[in-house]
Structure 1
Amino acid sequence: MTIRVVIADDQELVRSGFAMILEAQPDIEVVGEASDGAEALAAVREHRPDVALLDIRMPNLDGIEAARMVCAQTDCRVLMLTTFDQDDYVYDALYGGASGFLLKDVRRDDLVHAVRVVAAGESLLAPTVTRRLISDLTARRPRPSARPEGLTHLTARERETLKLLGRGLSNAEIAVAMVVSEHTVKTHVSNVLSKLGLRDRVQAVIAAYESGLIAPGAP
């Protein structure tokens, strides 16, 4: 199956560089390019790609707002690319629905890997974007006075799964911690995302902190 990608960046050399890297892969096709957020949104609507690579700082419509609109209006998954790694950019991108966040100095192989991971429905963050960062960000923003109603619909095992997701554990690590199979973990994760209306594991991490399941700064 070919992964269809749209690339949006206001620097032509950056766009063409990413396009060359991705087009060299037998399972990836770049179906559109854009120089700003508005063009990116139009390209996603026209080409219906699997993944959109969006720069954060773009004219007319920035990448954060473009990501929100893409995630709200289409099934396309968003991978953010930027030269900036300030906390607010990371948080806003993830909270807007992005499934991944990479700095532009990412290695060729890591870029290709990120596109494949995000296209497969998983989430991915740059090594510098850690669980502690998400914890610190959510701690600095107002938490709901009560836990989201959806949490009451989770079983005990699903709540434990969400808590472990919040700690950044992989499915394999969760399976070990809960003494169950990875298949069972996948089922729990799917149920958690469905019941809480979450797009992916990144939003599950944020939900775990905002719901109070994970204390700010917890390891």
Structure 2
Amino acid sequence: MTTTQATNQVLVFHRNGLFRDCLVNYIKTARDDEAIAIDHAQIAQIGEELFNSADVVLLDLNLPGVLPTEIIGRVQTSSSPAKIIVLVPDDHGSLAECLACGVHGCVLERASLDELNLAIDRVLEGSGFCSGDFAATMFAEFSRIAQSPAWQVPTAISACRLTGREQEVIGLLAKAKSNKQIAKELSVSLYTVKNHVHNILEKLSVETRMEAVELARQENWVSRF
């Protein structure tokens, strides 16, 4: 009796329809995986069942009118979070925030299809992946940040490198605001707020919102928000 290896489901988010369709066709033919092309205009209508069934998400960082962190948040709050690979253009200003959100790989858009295939394999195995020449650039940038005075401040929260938006969120948590109230006040989606809260808890190594707020108060950070 022979068994057929289960295929993976890959969601492809990209601003360029031709590029997106080429990736979908490659994944279907070269990998024998299921691939679904998603236009940025369709994102708001996507049901949670699609995110729940996905194994890998290929995410364009420059989707028109859509923050990549919003999609990352929806993936991470699904019942079975997929592995996320960001497709990085030469202008990668939002990549650092995406890395902080916990993506699993980054591939330059000008990389070969073989490299993309390797990236998908690596993240499915539980490893990370980063395009080689881009890794060198990121290493230089992280080295510069690590040597800056701000990085050396020995407080629990500053060492965790909370983003400006995460600082705003924890400040509102300290005021007992709900996720919906925070989303309304910051003019962001509920998914984005959930993603920020998730990242705050991970960075502070706590399990609850109350613990995060208490730690912020102990470090005298709440008054700054």
Q: Same fold (TM over 0.5)?
A: yes
Residues 122-141 of structure 1, C-alpha deviation per residue, up to 9 Å, x if partnerless?
11111122333333345559
1:36 deviates by 1.5
Does residue 135 of structure 2 align to residue 129 of structure 1? yes
Is the CA contact (8 Å cut-off) linking 2:61 and 2:95 kept in structure 1?
A: no
Which residue of the partner structure matches residue 82 of structure 1? Answer: 88
Which has the greater radius of gyration?
Answer: 2
Structure 1 segments, 4+ long, off by >4 Å, are 137-142
Report what 1:33 is aligned to. 37
8 Å Cα contact 1:81/1:103 also seen in 2: yes
RMSD: 3.1
Q: Is the 8 A contact 1:8 1:15 kept in 2?
A: yes
3-state SS of 2:121 partner = helix
**Counterpart of 2:218?**
none
Identity %: 19
For normalisation by structure 2, the TM-score amounts to 0.56
Is 2:123 aligned against 1:113? no
> Would you say how many aligned residue pairs link Structure 1 and Structure 2?
150
- 1:46-88, Cα deviation, whole Å (9 max, x unpaired): 25211100101112322233223322445111100032343x4
Aligned counterpart, 1:50: 55
In the alignment, does 2:154 pair up with 1:145?
Answer: yes
Contact 2:12 2:37 in 1 (8 A): yes
Q: Which runs of 5+ in 2 are unaligned?
A: 1-5, 158-200, 204-225
Amino acid of the structure 1 residue aligned with 2:81: D
Describe the shift of the 1:17–1:44 C-alpha distance in structure 2 as closer, same or farther (beyond 3 A).
farther
1:2 counterpart residue number: 7
Q: Are 1:5 and 1:50, in contact at CA under 8 Å, matched by a contact in 2?
A: yes
SS of 2:12 mapped into structure 1: strand
CA distance in 2, matches of 1:85, 1:11: 16
* 1:24 Cα deviation from its structure 2 partner: 1.4
Deviation at 1:26, TM superposition (A): 4.0
SS at match of 1:5: strand
Give how far 1:106 is off.
0.9
Task: Identify if the C-alpha distance between structure 1 residues 136 and 40 changes in structure 2 by more than 3 Å, giving closer, same or farther.
Answer: farther
TM-score (norm 1): 0.57
* 8 Å Cα contact 1:38/1:60 also seen in 2: no
Q: Distance in 2 between matches of 1:133 and 1:3?
A: 34
Using a 3 Å threshold, how does the CA distance of structure 1 residues 90 and 60 change in structure 2: closer, same or farther? closer
CA shift, 1:45, in A, is 4.1
